[in-house]
Amino acid sequence: MSDCVFCKIVAGQIPSTKVYEDEQVLTFMDLGQVNPGHVLVAVKKHAENIYQLDESQAAAVARASARVAKAIRDAFKPEGLSVYQANGKAAGQTVFHYHVHLLPRHQGDGMELTWPVKNPPREKLEEYAAKIRTAIG
């Protein structure tokens, strides 16, 4: 069994605050300690980087990112939303499983997230995820 934390989340072995799921992609609120409140769009297949995605998987990540981004916009009305992808040790990643981060933003406010609470505590994530799921419809 893989010791990849995202593979364990996909397999349901680690609980996650799920926002959206389809056959190829799992989207969840970051459990993380480092960046609480990021929404992560992760391809289900273990792929360490974009080179390991086929075009269908890459398209699925983009499609899910757009769908969830619009739902975040509708549910929380942030001033902006950043989408970024960073993989590999050189990018400071510690999980080697392809994923994209969605971050609602305050204008001109660096890395602060625009949730009702900045850098929300773990117990708020399910409430926010439920709002996003409702907005996805």
Residues near Zn ion, by CB under 5 A:
4, 6-7, 46, 97
10 Å Cβ neighbour count for 25?
24
Nearer to Zn ion, 95 or 135 (CB): 95
Nearer to Zn ion, 10 or 103 (CB): 10
> Is 38 annotated in the active site?
no
Nearer to Zn ion, 6 or 20 (CB): 6
* Least distance to Zn ion, CB of residue 74, Å: 30
User: Which residue's CB comes closest to Zn ion?
Assistant: 4
**68 dihedral zone (left: phi>0; alpha: psi -120 to 50; beta):** alpha
With 0-12 / 13-18 / 19 or more C-beta atoms within 10 angstroms meaning exposed / middle / buried, residue 72 is buried
Check 46, 97, 99, 106 and give the catalytic one: 99
Q: Give the residue numbers annotated as catalytic, written as ranges.
A: 99
